[in-house]
Chains A and B, each alone.
Chain A
C-alpha cells in the first residue's frame, strides 16, 4: 500500500502563474515532510520541508502547506518559471530527529511550465 500519494502524474502551468502540487499520506506516524525536485539524469534536489508542528513553511518562491487532520500537504510555487519544469517528489519521515525507516516517497508529479 502506498503511504505517500501524489495523485497527479503531471501538471501543466503557464509561466508566471501559481503551481500547486499536492500530496496525501496515510501513516499518522509521519512527522516531517519534504519536497524534492528532480531533473532528468540528475538526482533529486532538496527543496523545502515542514515539521508536523507547523502548518506552513516558506522559502522564497516556494511555500509548503500542511493540513495534518486531512493528511494532506501541498507545494506552491509563485511565480512559476521555466526552470521549475521538473519532477517533484513528496517524501515523509516518521521522526523529526531522524527516522528509523528512511524516507517514504510519492511517485512524483511532472510539472511542465509553458511559456
Chain B
C-alpha cells in the first residue's frame, strides 16, 4: 500500500513569493492534515481537511491556506513568503479526522521549504 506522497521534496523561494505544496494521501484516507516543523517550535498543526472541507485550523496567519480535492489529494499554499516560513512541511492522512483513536495519522516525508 503506497504511503503519503508529498511533492516537491525540496523547494527554494525568495521573500514575497508564493508557494504551493502537494500531498497525496494513502488510498482510502479522506482526512489530510498539514503540520509545520521548525527546530524551535517542533511540529505545529496548520489545518485539517476532511471530505473537501476544512475542519479546523491552527494558529497561523491567513497567508497559509489549503484545499482538498474530491480524490482527497490536498494542496497547501503560502503567500507573501517570509524568512520565518523556512521549515519542513509535513502532510498526514488518516481514515477519520483528528488523528487520534484507533486510526492514527500517517505522515509523508515532507517538503523542505527554504526562503532566501
A-B contact count (CB 8 A): 94
Q: How many residues of A contact B (CB 8 A)?
A: 31
Query: Who on chain B is nearest to A93 by CB?
Result: B100
Report chain B residues within 8 Å CB of A97: 96, 98, 100-101
Are B43 and A42 neighbours in the complex by a CB distance under 8 Å?
no
Docked Cα-Cα span, A115 to B97, in Å, equals: 41
**Pair B98/A100 contact, Cβ less than 8 Å:** yes
Residue of B nearest to A46 (CB): B104
Contact-residue size bin, chain B (C-beta under 8 Å from the other chain): 20 to 34
Residues of chain A lying within 8 A (CB to CB) of residue B35? 102-103, 105
Interface assignment of A22: CB less than 8 Å from any CB of chain B: no
Given A98-B96, A99-B97, A99-B100, do A46 and B42 touch, yes or no (CB 8 Å)?
Answer: no
How many angstroms between the C-alpha atoms of A105 and B107 in the bound complex?
Answer: 13
A interface residues with partner B (beta carbon < 8 Å): 31-32, 34, 36, 41-46, 49, 51, 89, 91-108
